[in-house]
Structure 1
Amino acid sequence: MTQSDIQDALARAGRLLARLEATRDRDRDALAERTRAVAAAKGRLAQRDAIDTYLRELQQDANRRSVATFETLLTALVQEVLPGEKPVRLDLTTERGLPALDIGVERPDGGREDVLEDNGGAMTNVVGMALRLIAVVKAGVGRFLALDEADCWIAPERVPAFYRVLDDGAARLGVQCLAISHHDVAGFDAGLTVSRIAGRPETGVAIDGPSAACAAAWEPETPGFRFVRLIDVQGFADATLPLGPGVNALVGPNNHGKSTVIRALRAVFYGEVRDSLVRAGASAARVEIGVADGRVLRYVRQPKRTPVNLWSLHEADGALVQENGTVLETGGRDVPPWVERLFGITRVEDLDVHVAHQKFPVFLLGEKPARRSAVLSIGREAGLIRDMQALQRDRVTEDQRTVREGEREITRLRESLGGLDGLDALAEALRGLEGQAGDLAEAAARLRGLEALADRLARAGRLATGATDRARVLADLPGPEVGADLGRRLAEARHRAVIGRRVLAAADTLAGAQARAAALSGLPPEAPLPRDTAQAASHAARLRRLRAGLAAAAGRVAALRDLPDTAPQPVLRPDATDMAQRLSQIGRRLAEARAREAAARDGLARTEAEMAEVLARTGGRCPACGTPTAPAALLAGHRHGAGEAA
């Protein structure tokens, strides 16, 4: 394994160790956090019973205070409508840990009677109406109450008192009421707004009511319902029920559609509707309710179409209302959340508080005691207590889950950390290995230095051996005097080579001169008188120079011919072989030059002969210009005009 491999392995081991240490630290933090969370959850669970008991006592205390208030109010209402009746008593108990409410009246002997079972219908009507009115107020939502035949079991002579109590309570509590009745309440001295059913379902039911008076009673921004319009709703082709603040009454004969108004309201606000709500022969039923600021809440039931129910809110001009960019128009089977939010009419504690069902006029009294106590849970204080109880239940569930899952996670983390206990020892061992690797790297560097030094020593040894061998060879060489003589001879050989080159050049010059002499030999002794004397003088001077040059060249050639054909061969020692080879090459080159000189002379002679033949055929004239000339003049390239030919 090389040093690089060792370093790579140590680096990988370091990275793996770092990841394991990070995992260990993360698991330690998670273990500490889980331990704290489980401990806190166990501490809260240990206080669970005490908290539950406190919340129950808090609820019971609130319920007892509500019970006392309810008893006083119910007794006053009952005795107002039914003078001489026994006071109403509410008994708050518990069943299976849950509050239970018994509603009865107290006999003179201290005994208790159930309102529903032990008393007449009048008592039931009054108590039921009062419970609904109280529930609407405590709910803190939409202050609207619709009663269908709530006076059905009250003696006719006590009905006016019933409505006086209802009107007084509605006025004091700010509740708008709609009461459906078969009694003629128009003559009651109760300040009611009365509308009447007119016509028959077969031809279309109409509603006669004080529309103008109702409209004048409202301020534009005051909350409340201005009217209920029914279009193709059962027996109503198109009828409008005007509504004013306070108590409104709709009266008329039985089976003429009074309760259809209640059914329409339950369809709009509770989503309770069937296709039978649609008038026979119509494609859809429409309910419109006038609200504040001229707006209209519209509900449409359209069988065999999608959506089957459609809720929408319209401005006074008919345009759809928009909130935060959202159009308030929703289809489906469930009442849209914005309807409940804007108008506050919905089930409270799963009770039909606002709109009574005709077939179930008795409110709460027919329920079991545990169910009756739901009315006590209505209101802000009870709602806060319920929220705390729900929060406690959620917290207990969450704490139980935290303990259950946390203990499993703690066990897993401890097992995981147990497997990482040796990381510190591994880290120490890795640091030791890294130190050893560093020492090994330093030793390897020193070893490489020693190897380089050994290589240099080996090269020095080889150089020394070569120097010794060369010294031994040089010891056998001749002395300096032999070298001086050899140098002299070499200089002479070089001089002779220079002379040879000069001989070759002189031979070339001689050949040219001979060619020109031959060309000039045929000239007449006297040149004709030229017309251009300046040109003739130039030619004469040129001829004189050529003759002088020819004579000098002939002299140099004569001198060179006295030289021996070959240079003397020096006596060379074995160590001067290279110089001898160079002198031999010079001799060969000189011989080759002389051979080229002889070949040039032969070629010149042949060329002159060929030129002579050409001139003979042309009558001694130049083939190019037609002037008389000689072969030598043509070969030398001289001008040969009329003057030269002469």
Structure 2
Amino acid sequence: MRADEAADAVARLGRALAGAEARRDAVGAAIAARAAVVAEAKGRLAQRDAVDACLRDLQQDAHQRSLASFETLLTALVQEVLPGEKPVSLELATERGLPALDIGLMRPDGGREDVLEDNGGAMTNVVGMALRLIAVVKAGVGRFLALDEADCWIAPDRVPAFYRVLEDGAARLGVQCLAISHHDLGAVAAGMAVSRVAGRPATGVAIDGPAAACAAAWAPDQPGFRFVRLVDVQGFADATLPLGPGVNALIGPNNTGKSTVIRALRAVFYGEARDGLVRAGATAARIEIGVAGGRTLRFVRQPRRSPVNLWSLHEPDGSLAVERGARLETGGRDVPDWVDRLFGIRRVEDLDLHVAHQKFPVFLLGEKPAKRSAVLSIGREAGIVRDMQAIQRERVIDDQRTVREGEREITRLREVALGFADLDGIALAIDSLRRQAGALAQADDRLRRIEARAAGLGRLSAEHRAAGLRDAAFAGLPDPEAAAALGRTLAEDRHRVALGERLLAASRDRRAAEARAAILAALPSREPVPAGYEAAALLAATGGRCPACGAPAAAAHLLDGHRASPGEAA
């Protein structure tokens, strides 16, 4: 292998080694980074029990404070409606590691009574109404409360106190209320907006209410619902229930459709709509709710069409409202986010706070103790603690996954790193090869210089031999003066040779001329005629020309010395 080839091979090995070292360093850095992440996750997991205990303590403390405020408010409300009744007692316990709330009444002897099981409907409804009112306020969302007829059932002599407490609480807490009742509330409270249903579902139920008074009670941008309009909704062909800012009541005989308003509200805000909501013979049911700014929230249930439910918000002129470039119109089975965001009526902690359910009229009291405690989680402080617990649970899951996946990744990376264990030995070998390649390059350079010098010596030797031959050739030559004399002699000899050659030529020419002259002198003055000579035969032999001068001649004149003309010869 030549030195340059060896150097290229070593350079390629060096580049490959550098790449392998870079990968080894990257793998090492990845192992260190992943190990640090795993160590942090293990550290957090090691503190898991302490963090969980701290959050439970915070939750317990928040629940205890909520418990005290609930207990005080409930006792005050109950005794306002039902004077002389026992104080409400709330007891927080733990079931299967979860908080559990027991709602009862405290007897004078220190014993406790269950509100739902050990008391009448009046106590149950008052406590349920009070719990719902407090929960709506603590939730910090839409301040609207709709109570169905069963929620408002109470002895006739307690009706004024019940609605007085409801009115006072709504006014103090800024909650708009709608109560469905079979009581005649005309003389209960002058400030309450009371509407009545009339007619039968078969022929169309109408609503008679103080529409003008309700409309006049609102400021244009004041939050709250101005009216509920039902078009082809069960027994209602087209009826409007006016609503004021405080407590509103809808009264009338049983089975006239009062609870249809509750079902309509649950359809709009909870998405609980069925085809049975549509009036017999109609193609769709439409619910319209007047809101702040003259807008109208509209819900349409349209069986056998897509979408089956359609929510939309309309401006006072009837056009669709637009928010951030998007039209507020959404179809589907789930309540749109913008309805929840704009009006804040939704389930909180999986509890129906705002709109009572006709079939489950007793709020919270009929639930299991573990679900009852959800009401204590309503509110800012409890919500923050609950969010912290959810974050902690998610973090624990993430940390467990991080440790599990991280340790697998570290194991894999370490196996990869084993493939780079011989890099140091390879580096030493490449260094040795690099030195050998350098020595080979130096030797090759010396060899090239030697070869160049040898070639130069060969040229010098050849030139020396040629010079020796020239010296030998010039050794027998005369000196310059003799050579010059010799040159002059040679030049003179060449001149003499040339003169001699000219003399010889002249001598030859002279002798030839003398020979011709001798021949001519011996000729007769006239040509003799040879015996038996015939001119015609002679001319035939010469081709019609004179044998002496070669000119054309005629046979008659050949011997007379007459030269025939070209015409005569012819």
Tell me whether the two structures share a fold, i.e. TM-score over 0.5: yes
1:48 corresponds to which residue?
A: 48
1:143 corresponds to which residue?
A: 143
Check conservation: 1:151, 1:159, Cα contact below 8 A. no
2:205 corresponds to which residue?
A: 205
Q: How does 1:509-520 map to 2 (within 5 A)?
A: none
Amino acid at match of 2:356: A
2: distance between equivalents of 1:396 and 1:263?
42
Q: How does 1:35-184 map to 2 (within 5 A)?
A: 35-151=35-151, 153-184=153-184
Amino acid at match of 1:100: A
SS at match of 1:214: helix
Check conservation: 2:251, 2:258, Cα contact below 8 A. yes
1:187 corresponds to which residue?
A: 187
2:449 corresponds to which residue?
A: 449
SS at match of 2:375: helix
Q: Evaluate the alpha carbon distance shift between residue 229 and residue 562 of structure 1 in structure 2; reply closer, same or farther with a 3 A threshold.
A: farther
Check conservation: 1:151, 1:162, Cα contact below 8 A. no
Amino acid at match of 1:243: L
SS at match of 2:427: helix
Check conservation: 1:160, 1:190, Cα contact below 8 A. no
Which deviates the most, 198-207 or 334-343? 198-207
Shift of 1:485: 5.6
1:238 corresponds to which residue?
A: 238
Check conservation: 2:199, 2:206, Cα contact below 8 A. yes
Check conservation: 2:128, 2:151, Cα contact below 8 A. no
1: distance between equivalents of 2:210 and 2:344?
26
Amino acid at match of 2:358: Q
1:330 corresponds to which residue?
A: 330
Q: What value does the CA root-mean-square deviation take over the aligned residues?
A: 2.5
1: distance between equivalents of 2:79 and 2:116?
17
1: distance between equivalents of 2:508 and 2:85?
179
Shift of 1:200: 2.1
Q: How does 1:111-510 map to 2 (within 5 A)?
A: 111-151=111-151, 153-189=153-189, 191-469=191-469, 480=483
1: distance between equivalents of 2:267 and 2:492?
142
SS at match of 1:231: strand
Amino acid at match of 1:291: V
Check conservation: 2:234, 2:279, Cα contact below 8 A. yes
Check conservation: 1:167, 1:246, Cα contact below 8 A. yes
1:24 corresponds to which residue?
A: 24
1: distance between equivalents of 2:466 and 2:184?
148
2: distance between equivalents of 1:24 and 1:487?
96
Shift of 1:177: 0.5
TM-score (norm 1): 0.73
1: distance between equivalents of 2:163 and 2:317?
37
1:474-521 Cα distance to aligned partner (Å, 9 max, x none): 7788984665566678899999xxxxxxxxxxxxxxxxxxxxxxxxxx
1: distance between equivalents of 2:112 and 2:55?
30
Check conservation: 1:164, 1:190, Cα contact below 8 A. no
1: distance between equivalents of 2:406 and 2:185?
69
2: distance between equivalents of 1:236 and 1:242?
15
Q: Structure 1 regions of 5+ residues with no counterpart?
A: 496-560, 566-646
Shift of 1:40: 2.0
1:562-597 Cα distance to aligned partner (Å, 9 max, x none): 8999xxxxxxxxxxxxxxxxxxxxxxxxxxxxxxxx
Q: Evaluate the alpha carbon distance shift between residue 199 and residue 406 of structure 1 in structure 2; reply closer, same or farther with a 3 A threshold.
A: same
Q: Evaluate the alpha carbon distance shift between residue 150 and residue 470 of structure 1 in structure 2; reply closer, same or farther with a 3 A threshold.
A: same
The structure carrying a bigger helix percent of its residues is: 1
2: distance between equivalents of 1:474 and 1:202?
153
Shift of 1:150: 3.8
Check conservation: 2:151, 2:362, Cα contact below 8 A. no
Check conservation: 1:196, 1:251, Cα contact below 8 A. yes
Shift of 1:413: 3.2
Shift of 1:190: 5.9
Amino acid at match of 1:86: K
Q: Evaluate the alpha carbon distance shift between residue 484 and residue 354 of structure 1 in structure 2; reply closer, same or farther with a 3 A threshold.
A: farther
1:581 corresponds to which residue?
A: none
Which deviates the most, 413-422 or 270-279? 413-422
1:127-151 Cα distance to aligned partner (Å, 9 max, x none): 1111111110111000001111145
Shift of 1:473: 6.2
Shift of 1:411: 2.8
Amino acid at match of 1:304: R
2: distance between equivalents of 1:100 and 1:67?
12
Shift of 1:428: 3.6
2:534 corresponds to which residue?
A: none
SS at match of 1:443: helix
Q: Evaluate the alpha carbon distance shift between residue 564 and residue 337 of structure 1 in structure 2; reply closer, same or farther with a 3 A threshold.
A: farther
Amino acid at match of 1:155: A
2: distance between equivalents of 1:357 and 1:489?
157
1: distance between equivalents of 2:498 and 2:506?
19
Check conservation: 2:139, 2:379, Cα contact below 8 A. yes
Check conservation: 2:152, 2:180, Cα contact below 8 A. no
1:515 corresponds to which residue?
A: none
Shift of 1:424: 3.3
SS at match of 1:237: strand
Shift of 1:258: 1.0
Shift of 1:405: 2.1
2: distance between equivalents of 1:113 and 1:96?
24
2: distance between equivalents of 1:24 and 1:258?
78
SS at match of 1:40: helix
2: distance between equivalents of 1:386 and 1:261?
34
Shift of 1:187: 1.5
Check conservation: 2:129, 2:151, Cα contact below 8 A. no
SS at match of 1:117: coil
2: distance between equivalents of 1:28 and 1:327?
55
Shift of 1:13: 1.3
Check conservation: 1:195, 1:208, Cα contact below 8 A. yes
Shift of 1:318: 1.5
Q: Evaluate the alpha carbon distance shift between residue 490 and residue 433 of structure 1 in structure 2; reply closer, same or farther with a 3 A threshold.
A: farther
Shift of 1:6: 1.3
Amino acid at match of 2:103: I
Amino acid at match of 1:111: G
Q: How does 1:593-612 map to 2 (within 5 A)?
A: none
1: distance between equivalents of 2:494 and 2:99?
142
Check conservation: 2:153, 2:181, Cα contact below 8 A. no
2:540 corresponds to which residue?
A: none
SS at match of 1:118: coil
Amino acid at match of 1:297: L
Which deviates the most, 398-407 or 124-133? 398-407
Which deviates the most, 148-157 or 299-308? 148-157
1: distance between equivalents of 2:24 and 2:496?
98
1:356-393 Cα distance to aligned partner (Å, 9 max, x none): 11111111111110011111111101100001111111
2:561 corresponds to which residue?
A: none
Check conservation: 1:301, 1:309, Cα contact below 8 A. yes
Shift of 1:468: 4.6
